[in-house]
Amino acid sequence: MRDRMAGWLWPLAVANILANIGIVVTGAAVRLTGSGLGCPTWPRCTEESYRAHGELGIHGVIEFGNRLLTFVLAAVAILCFLAALASRDRKAIRLSFLIGLYIPAQAVIGGITVLTDLNPWVVSLHFLSSMVIIVFCLALLDHLRSPTREAAPRRTRLVADGIFVVGWVVLYLGTVVTGAGPHAGDLDAKRNGLDPQVFSHVHAIGVYVLVALTVTLLVLAARAGDRWLTVVAGALLAIELAQGIVGWTQYLLDLPVLLVALHMLGASLLTAGLARTALAVRPHTSHAEHTGRLYAWATGRRG
């Protein structure tokens, strides 16, 4: 029974990251349809009920549906944690526990966004918190299915760390632009009062720096013959370029909702790419080797 449960660890880890990216996209749907206050209070949907009712209309249905997805996230996270326990892999246990622990914390932040009438700075925190969960999910995937590797040279690690830091600055600036733009999540929600055109250009400058650093890392990895890092950095560069194209297109077309939703999906993929790149320059023992050592230790076969 334990071995069977442990065998589900990888598919549940994949389900974890897909579910968390999915709720970012559905959260975008809530905001882009003006349904952010479809349920006007929290944790209940209304003062009298936890469920949306007919008087709240389609906005209530959309917001309540997004809230229900939190329970799906929690169920997947719990099952993943149980599978990690069955595997006896301590790192997998720690990461799956952090993912599960962060989900209720994220739900509370989401509740605060409603109670503050979609304050743009709190909405920003809510989005960035989702990105943190995606980092943990990617770290679990990296632990389970990445090749054994040594630490990259110091210069390469510094560039990768710079990419991670600049990438988060870019993500934050993106939330600032969103907080200044028209998609507030509700017709009466306040904006942050900043000039969206100015901060769109500031955000773009951050993207240019991020792309330059990623190209630098790709060159370093190729010169060093590091195939894994070359693949990871190349994938990150592709995500950045695609995200940049979507970003500029939505800016030029005055932010059509479908492109904004696609841009938020891209932000989730970018976050995963940033985490993967930061981890790719660090030493790692493959999960198969790690579990083999655990088995040897448990059975007394220490060589």
Taking only the tens place, the pLDDT of each residue in 143-196 is 999 999 999 999 999 999 999 999 999 999 999 998 887 776 666 678 888 888
Alpha carbons 118 and 33: distance in angstroms, whole number: 14
User: HEC states along 157-192?
Assistant: HHHHHHHHHHHHHHHHHHHHHHHHCCCCCCCCCCCC
Identity of the residue numbered 73: L
290 band by pLDDT with thresholds 50, 70 and 90: low
The whole-model pTM stands at 0.89
Where does the chain have alpha helices with state H?
2-6, 9-32, 57-87, 90-115, 120-144, 154-180, 196-224, 227-252, 257-280, 287-299
Alpha carbons 231 and 236: distance in angstroms, whole number: 9
The per-residue pLDDT for 294 is 47
**Are 275 and 163 in contact, with CB atoms under 8 Å apart?**
no
**Are 16 and 99 in contact, with CB atoms under 8 Å apart?**
yes
The per-residue pLDDT for 146 is 92
Tens digit of pLDDT for each residue in 248-273? 898 888 888 889 899 999 999 999 99
The per-residue pLDDT for 184 is 64
User: Which two three-digit tokens encode residue 241?
Assistant: 């370029």
φ, ψ for residue 189, nearest 5 deg: -70, 140
